[in-house]
Structure 1
Amino acid sequence: MVSKELHFTRAAEKLGISQPTLSHQIKMLEQEVGYSLFNRIGKKIELTKVGEIVQQEALNIQSSLKSISSQIRAFSNVEIGELKIAVLPGEITDLVSTLCGEFNQLYPNIKVFVQTTDQVEKAVLENQADFGIGFTFNNSDMLQVTKLYDEEFYLISNENNEERKISFSTVLDSSLILFPNIHQCRQILDKTSSEFGRKLDPIIETSSIESILKLVRNGVGNSVVSRTLYEFYDTDDLYFQHIERPSLTRSIYLVMKKNSFINYAARKYIQLLVGEIERLRFDTEKVAMASLYHSLL
């Protein structure tokens, strides 16, 4: 409280104790640490470098105590609580959100919060999310990263084409309806076309997958979408072709804090997610899936 208020009297009032008592406790802590925690400049005070270290460790201890309480509640109230998921912006959010409906039917008393952020690792490390889902993650000794599956991208249209495959250069020559370049799907397309010495020039850009599918249905143009989106939306009236030379693929990863407790809600959602991945026969790694199942037991 003193490090927050930077004022002994105000801190004492917030804590409900006398100012001399608080000053004595700080002095005892400084004696135990062996260094001053505050610089006292007249009536003003500021944290010393050692004080900053002690403050951060105190916050870590406070976070650990909250985690202990959360874990105990998770054991005693298994189907009551909340689930926090961090996902990268873009089409992967559709995958996570679509499964939320089914999850809610199975566990109506668990509130689900989907946080869209480009800092998924940070959200997980700072306990703002129970787990995260994205495409690429930096190596960290504090994170457990599991590959969920590999997927390819399709060219979709409203016309049945006998050729099941199409070259990327031919894709570039077609009228395309695409996501804006903030989407990871579009970034892959931009990078690949740049390697061809070409620049994508879509006739329409929209962040709405529903709009993209509707425009393709109406024959306005074709689109390139991930298999995840193709499988999770009503696309029975559309046709797809595998893109080759080169093929466009990416990996989907799940990230959790290493050696941390996985609460009931997170375990059940991940099991639901893995079940859906297996049902759709996505390209998974058996070792990675086995390790993930083991961590959920």
Structure 2
Amino acid sequence: MELRHLEYFLMVSKELHFTKAAEKLGISQPTLSQQIKMLEKEIGYSLFNRVGKKIELTKVGEIVQQEALKIQGSIENISSQISAFSKGDLGELKIAVLPGEITDLVATLCIEFNQLYPNIKVSIETTDQVEKAVLDNRTDFGISFQLNQNDQLQVTKLYEEEFYLISNQKNEESKVAFAEVVKEPLILFPNQHQCRKIINKTSNEIGKKLEPIVETSSIKSILNLVRSGVGRSVVSRTLFEFYDTADLYFQQIEKPTLTRGVYLVRKKDCIVNYAAREFIKLLVSEIEKLQFHTEKDAIHSLYRSVL
């Protein structure tokens, strides 16, 4: 089996049209058809169902497509890293993140990352479908809270974080019950924000209605409003740690405790390029420095498989 055959097959599987695929490949349609027939003969199965002018992948074709994409991705990674090395440039980094706190976390780390690796171009895709972005090879890895089981993904729990009630005045009690939190004048993120979704879910579970006095998607606005005494807010520890909050006070929330897991998502059996490895190192180092609750076995496994 030649790599050229897989390249031709992937183009046909993408276009689902032999003439269009041949034009994009710069070869004649009869030549392309002959090459696909040679691949089918070697595999022993038809890769496409041909119905008139239309074609579709067979079940075997779908399997070959999935594996061929992995091979293509590996070859592209090898080529890009060799090219980057030869030019003294370390390449590109693409990260998928959920809207909200993780975007802030990644963006903050990008400042330090850029200082260390100024020649690496960093692209952050903010999306509600982190896993799909990783599966579609649009990103090198993703960071998410919500996970759906998928055999093609390698998922590592980075840390468990809690939520704080923050204010501009110190309270003698280090902890506060959630039922008391909802009685406060609150400044919160909008309903579509990941942090707000957890607060809404918890308030519904205890039969309390949330009525914030201010809603804003800007964490800086929330912190400034809290500083001015307009109200209090509930934020994740990630946000509290990554912004200038030295003049604010926090209480841990209990009954129930508000927590969530933060996960690193990457595609199985794919090469982790240099840029991705270096950013993940920086991320893990920051997590350990801030003493987030981590699962040591998971972090050690990540070091073995990626770092």
**TM-score category of the 2 structures, normalised to the smaller one:** 0.7 to 0.9
Give the equivalent residue in structure 1 for 2:4: none
Give the equivalent residue in structure 2 for 1:243: 253
CA RMSD of aligned residues (A): 2.6
Describe the SS at the equivalent of 1:155: strand
In the TM superposition, 1:1-297 aligns within 5 A as 4=15, 6=17, 8=19, 12-25=22-35, 35=46, 37=48, 39=50, 41=52, 44-47=53-56, 49=58, 53=62, 56=65, 62-70=72-80, 72-73=82-83, 80-297=90-307
Kept in 2, the 8 Å contact 1:110–1:265? The answer is yes
Question: If you compute each CA radius of gyration, which structure gives the higher value, 1 or 2?
Answer: 1
Q: How far 1:7 sits from its partner (Å)?
A: 6.0
Q: Relative to structure 1, is the Cα distance of residues 221 and 59 closer, same or farther in structure 2, using a 3 angstrom cutoff?
A: same
Distance 2:109 2:70 in 1: 33
Kept in 1, the 8 Å contact 2:46–2:61? The answer is no
Kept in 2, the 8 Å contact 1:144–1:258? The answer is yes
Distance 1:11 1:282 in 2: 50
Kept in 1, the 8 Å contact 2:18–2:29? The answer is no
Kept in 1, the 8 Å contact 2:188–2:233? The answer is yes
Kept in 2, the 8 Å contact 1:121–1:255? The answer is yes
Structure 2: which 5+ runs fail to align? Answer: 1-10
Kept in 2, the 8 Å contact 1:79–1:107? The answer is no
Distance 2:22 2:118 in 1: 44
Distance 2:61 2:45 in 1: 14
Give the equivalent residue in structure 1 for 2:6: none
Describe the SS at the equivalent of 1:149: strand
Q: How far 1:278 sits from its partner (Å)?
A: 1.1
Kept in 1, the 8 Å contact 2:90–2:274? The answer is no
Describe the SS at the equivalent of 2:160: strand
Q: How far 1:11 sits from its partner (Å)?
A: 5.4
Q: How far 1:141 sits from its partner (Å)?
A: 2.2
Q: How far 1:247 sits from its partner (Å)?
A: 1.4
TM-score relative to the length of structure 2? 0.85
